Chain A
């Protein structure tokens, strides 16, 4: 005998029902469907048409089964959505940038060509973004189906409101910038005129003495401009988009020549490390150059973006 539409409907609805509830549920569902069909037939419909109408009204059997079993018909529902979204944003803000920095640094130290460095960094960043989203979501899909109340049991209170974001234009920001610049200038001067002890009572400098006088003069001019910019931001009371662009120009003006000097081996004192360690000094100098380059580039990129973010928030 051919399976009727009702047989097929009940089978489809019972597919996802646990074994021990299945007999009870399927018998009840079948009786209910038959009752409804009979009522329509009594009212004068043909059996086939009545069956079709009843099943159409009941709708998708999987949806009906989800109703019986109180299964959610969503991946991450309102109970977990905010926890899920906050965690995802936090991880997206941290993990891809760290992975990109690590991969690019590792590839550069390993001596990979520029194209390969850029290519593998982009590849890793894309796959990290996708992986983070996938695994975080999977965890929440499982949480949604194993039923804890929420990630954080305690109720929300106003104490949890986020602190106002730093404007970057307070007196403390100005002082910090000026102190930082003064320390930087002090380091450069100390490095040149006094130097660092390397044993045997000798003193040597960290930076290439060939940078004096013109490169260093240029650096001091740009640092003075940075100080002036910091004073301007404090006087205005906030970052503006124009000031953020000026900051970008200054960052590029410092970072690009520095990176060029590093890449040409003109930045570090070539005498320094061979003096400290005659055997591996040259190799260590190479590695130190790469790390310094990444740190400079990282600081410049971060500082530029940070200024734009502050300018955007202050609008």
Chain B
């Protein structure tokens, strides 16, 4: 494994849970698959379509998201929204992320 490949793997592992948190926080405003993908991208969450779409389904199945078909426009889209349980999960994840961030900031650093 080259150094860049190793870096890629570690970054992926580090970021894995953050997409869930970002989705739960963003979907307090209802959103659909591709729109959310764009939003995540523009906010600096590097996500692939083939991981995001299954992730939304999974969160819905767990009850953290609720969904609704919107057929008002020419192209019907499935809109997701964070549920009450999802809000609680987002709050817990955010608190944990802050704690981790603080803990990392307190680590000794080589300058």
Contact A29 B50 (CB under 8 A): no
A280 contacts partner chain B, Cβ-Cβ < 8 Å: no
Partner of A28, one of B33, B35, B48, B58: B33
Our pick among A24, A27, A32 for the contact of B49 (Cβ within 8 Å) is: A32
B76→A57 contact, CB < 8 A:
no
CB atoms of B75 and A31 under 8 A apart: yes
B54 touches A67 (CB 8 A): yes
Interface positions, chain A 11-34, Cβ under 8 Å from B, are: 24-25, 27-29, 31-32, 34
Q: Complex Cα distance A67/B54, Å?
A: 5
Q: Contact at B58–A35, with CB atoms within 8 Å?
A: no
Which of chain A's residues has its CB closest to B51's CB? A67
List residues 14-54 of chain B with CB under 8 A from any CB of chain A. Answer: 32-35, 37-38, 48-51, 53-54
Residues of B within 8 A of A27 (CB): 69, 76, 78
Which residues of chain B come closer than 8 Å to A299, judged between CB atoms?
none
Secondary structure call for the A interface: helix
Pick the residue among A25, A39, A57 that contacts B34 (CB under 8 A). A39
Residues of A close to B76: CB separation below 8 A: 27, 31
On whether the beta carbons of B53 and A57 are closer than 8 Å, the reply is no
Q: Is A107 interfacial (CB 8 A cutoff)? A: no
Distance in Å from the Cβ of B62 to the closest Cβ of chain A?
A: 11
Partner of B75 from the list A25, A35, A68 (CB cut-off 8 Å) is A35
| Residues of B close to A31: CB separation below 8 A | 32-34, 75-78
Are B57 and A68 closer than 8 Å at their CB atoms? yes
Please, which residues of chain B bring their CB within 8 A of the CB of A35? 32-35, 75, 77
- Give me the 10 closest cross-chain CB pairs, A-B, nearest first: A67-B54, A35-B34, A32-B33, A28-B78, A68-B54, A58-B50, A32-B34, A31-B77, A64-B50, A59-B50
Q: Kindly identify, within residues 54 to 89 of chain B, every residue whose CB is under 8 Å from any CB belonging to chain A.
A: 54, 57-58, 69, 75-78
Instruction: Tell which of A25, A57, A70 touches B50, judged by Cβ atoms closer than 8 Å.
Output: A57
- A6 CB within 8 Å of chain B: no
Residues of A within 8 A of B50 (CB): 57-59, 63-64, 67
Which residues of chain B come closer than 8 Å to A32, judged between CB atoms? Answer: 32-34, 49, 53
CB-CB < 8 A to A58: which residues of B? 49-50
Chain A positions within 8 Å of B32 at CB level: 31-32, 35
A39 to chain B: closest CB distance in Å?
7
Q: Which of B35, B51, B53, B75 contacts A29 (CB 8 A)?
A: B53
- Knowing A28-B33, A31-B76, A31-B77 touch, does A36 contact B53 (C-beta < 8 A)? no
